[in-house]
Amino acid sequence: MENTVNKKKLLIGALIRGFLETWLLGMFVFLFFWAVSKAFGLFGNILFGFVGICTVFAIMADYGLKQGEKAESKVRLHGAEPCRNFGFMIGLAASLPCWVSLLMLVLSKAGILFNFLPAYKIINAFFFPIIDIVAHTADVSEMHPACFALFAVLPFFFILSGWLSFKWGYDQVDLKSKLMYKNK
């Protein structure tokens, strides 16, 4: 067994598991949202937007908790280098496709690239209902520049959930006991 925490493997796992699993489940959010968007209107955007954010938190929490527990075990039992806040890097790795697609959208809005808004919405399918509130059309030229402020906030859900869940796993926080029972 290794005496170090393989950080490169954790980052690749975060990118693959964190982003791709979230994207696959996000596609279901995207499809169900399309099926009911006419009937629900803005309420559907808010509801399915919340579901998309919960999808990000659920996938990243699962990955972060498990990897945090493994890292703490290697530190405690094998003397590996402590890495309590490495969850920030895990969240950053998982959010990398969101940041790259946002950069491409900015270049598209500036006229350097083709109309990237439809691709941006598909790449960020788990956030599609939220994106759709402020950028309802498929043409980037019709999108207001202030939309980028919202789009820049969305990837931070990956970073926040990766950081917190890894830290809780590393600190061996028993979430079930904290949620189910009162501490006396």
**Alpha-carbon distance 98 to 12, whole Å?**
15
User: Which is it for the CA torsion 59, 64, 67, 70, positive or negative?
Assistant: negative
Residue 102 confidence (pLDDT): 98
Q: Are 162 and 88 in contact (CB under 8 A)?
A: yes
Show the tokens assigned to 120: 């941006």
Residue with tokens 């969240």: 91
Q: Is the pLDDT of residue 6 over 90?
A: no
Share of the chain above pLDDT 90, in %: 72
pLDDT digits (tens, 9 = 90+) for 152-174: 999 999 999 999 999 999 999 88
pLDDT digits (tens, 9 = 90+) for 46-105: 999 999 999 999 999 999 999 999 999 988 888 888 888 999 999 999 999 999 999 999
Q: Are 39 and 77 in contact (CB under 8 A)?
A: no
**Alpha-carbon distance 150 to 53, whole Å?**
14
Residue 11 confidence (pLDDT): 92
| pTM reported for the whole predicted model | 0.89
Residue with tokens 């990118």: 15
Length of the chain: 184
Helix (H, G, I), strand (E, B) or coil at 182: coil
Residue 126 confidence (pLDDT): 94
